[in-house]
Structure formats: structure tokens, C-alpha cells
Amino acid sequence: MRYFFLPVIIIFILASSALASYREAFEKEFLFKSWGGEEPEVNACIDCHSSDIMKKEFQSVMQSWKRSWHYQNNVLCHDCHGGDYKDATMSMSHQRGFLGTPKYTEVPDFCGKCHIGILRNYLESGHGKALQATGKGPNCVTCHGSHNIQKANIEIINEGLCTKCHTYERAKIMKQALFATENKIRDIDKKLEDLKIEGIYVGDEKRELFSTQAEFRALFHTIDADLVKQRTDDFTRKLNVIDTKIKNSFNEIHFRKNFSAFLMLIFIGLSIVVSLLSKTYKD
């Protein structure tokens, strides 16, 4: 009978780990799919702009873009500039949707066709209003660059950049509020990874954290220090809820570990008793 249960247990363990890796593959495929799908095999924009015939001042564009976060996420030339990447002779014609190089004041709409929430925050902000009224506000490129755009973080808020047009005081207050929440997010993310290593499914918490983080990071673009402070408090509350859930999961893991150790001890104790008993019986 003993020998019957062993294979059953092994099959069960194998099946559940196969299920977990299937779930991970599924998440990768469908929940975090990158923007444009596969990179097309022929891309006239990239081919022609990489070639030696391109004028010198435009050659750095390709190099910058290849180092960018957009490149890694499959955001290609035509995704921003429009045009037809399949047809080299017509690719930069306006009939094929080519937009050309945006003017300084056109940049927010240019980027905002994909970053919709951020565009909304930006347009309502002091910066967006200043850009529209006087052309003096910073646009997206002022802070992020155009071709070598990297994953954003609060280090973009620095004295060198932010004092180009005004003092640093308000920027500093905002950076401090953002910093506190960002640390908390990083902390929770690390704990979730630890739980995942222990084999606990954390998909739901991950998604919750991810949406909170996205909402939070877009918030900077309001450049409203009071609003950022107030929302930081809200986010901290939300994050604390996730944190409590994580703590409970860890407690459960410890309990289970202690409990199996306890069972193991009882088992060993019983075996000793049984073997002693059988010995005395034989003697």
C-alpha cells in the first residue's frame, strides 16, 4: 500500500509545478505583451536611416533610439512619426500618414497619442498651460529626450534641469513626497518576489501594485505639490493594505513550516517507540 501512494504524490507534485509554469507563460504572453507585437522583417525607415547616405546630423538618431526603452518595447520610427515602413519610395509621404518632425508646441500631442493619461495631467498643469499660452513651458522632450528615452524615475527632477526656468523650491517638495512612496513601492515589490520564490501565487497583488504605481508615477505631471502630497497619503494607505496581506502570507508560511517540523518530530518519536516495542517483543 505504501508503494502505491509514493508515485501518486510524485505525480501530484510534478503536475502542480507544470501548472505554475504554464500560468507564468500565460501571464508573460497575454498580460505583459509589448506594444507593437513582432518587429516587421522589412522596415524601410530603419534600413534607410541606418545607411551611410543619411546626413551626418541624423545618424545619431538611430544610435540613440537603439539604446532606448522604446526600442526594447518595440516602439518604432513610424509609431511616433507615422509614414509607411513597408514602402521605401513612399514612406515619408504625407498621404501615407507621415507626420514629420513635431514643432516644440506639438510634442505633447505627438507623445500623448500613446501616453494618454500623462498628456491629460500635463495639459492641466502649470507647464502645459504655459506651453499653450506662451510657448515657455517645458514639453515632454525637455525632460525625457526624444530618441534615447529611458525608463522614468524621480532623478529627472534635478536642480540642473528644473532651475533652467525657475527656482528649485517647489520641485524639491514634490520630489520628497514622490521619494517616500517610491521607496514603499520598491519595498513591497521585493517582498512579493520573496513570496513568489516560496511558491505563493502573487499575481493579484502584483497587478494591484502595478496599477497603483502607474497611477502614482503619472501624477508628477500635474506638478501640483499639494495634490501630490495628498495623493501620496492615499497611495500609502493602499500600499499598507498590500503590505498587511504580505505579512499574513509570511506568517502562514512560517506556521506551515513549523507545523510540518512538528509532524516530523511526532513521526520520528513514534518510529522510535514502535521499534523499541518490537525489539522488546522479540526479546
Q: Which is nearer to ligand HEC, 115 or 229 (CB)?
A: 115
* Neighbour-count burial of 120, counting CB atoms closer than 10 A to its CB (0-12 exposed, 13-18 middle, 19+ buried): middle
Give the torsion through C-alpha atoms of 31, 219, 36, 59, to 10 deg.
-140
x-or-dash pattern for ligand HEC, window 146-165, by CB under 6 A? xx-x-xxxx-xx---xx-xx
DSSP state of 149: -
Residue window 13-52: x/- pattern of binding to ligand HEC, with contact defined by CB under 6 A: ----------------------x--------xxx-xx---
Rg (CA), the chain: 28
The least distance separating ligand HEC from the CB of residue 84, rounded to whole angstroms, comes to 6
Least distance (Å) from ligand HEC to the CB of residue 28? 15
Of 25-33, 121-129, 245-253, 263-271: span binding ligand HEC (CB under 6 A): 121-129
- Least Å distance, CB 18 to ligand HEC, is 30
User: Contacts with ligand HEC in 219-278 (CB under 6 A)?
Assistant: 220-221, 223-225
- The residue (of 42 and 270) whose beta carbon lies closer to ligand HEC is 42
- Minimal distance in Å, beta carbon 167 to ligand HEC? 9
Residues 79-118 that bind ligand HEC (CB under 6 A): 79-81, 83-85, 88, 91-92, 100-102, 107-108, 110-115, 118
- CB burial class (10 A; 0-12, 13-18, 19+) of residue 143? middle
DSSP 8-state class, residue 102: P
- Amino acid occupying residue 63: Q
CA angle, residues 163, 169, 173, in degrees to nearest 5: 120
Three cell numbers, residue 198: 516560496
**Closest distance of CB 215 from ligand HEC, Å:** 8
In the complex, the smallest distance separating the C-beta of residue 147 from ligand HEC, rounded to whole angstroms, is 5
Interaction between residue 55 and ligand HEC (CB under 6 A): yes
Q: Which is nearer to ligand HEC, 149 or 188 (CB)?
A: 149
Binding mask 62-81 for ligand HEC (x = CB under 6 A): x--x---xx--x-x-xxxxx
Nearer to ligand HEC, 116 or 197 (CB): 116
Q: Distance between CA atoms of 101 and 99, rounded to whole angstroms?
A: 7
| Residue in the block written with cell 497619503 | 233
Chain positions 161 to 190 lying near ligand HEC, rule: CB under 6 A, are 161-162, 164-166, 170-171, 174, 178
DSSP state, 30?
Answer: I
Phi then psi for residue 237, to 5 deg, are -60, -45
**Distance from C-alpha of 131 to C-alpha of 246, rounded to nearest angstrom:** 44
Least distance from ligand HEC to the Cβ atom of residue 89, Å: 7
Nearest to ligand HEC of 165, 263 (CB atom): 165
Q: Are 245 and 225 in contact (CB under 8 A)?
A: no
Question: First and final CA of the chain: distance in angstroms?
Answer: 29
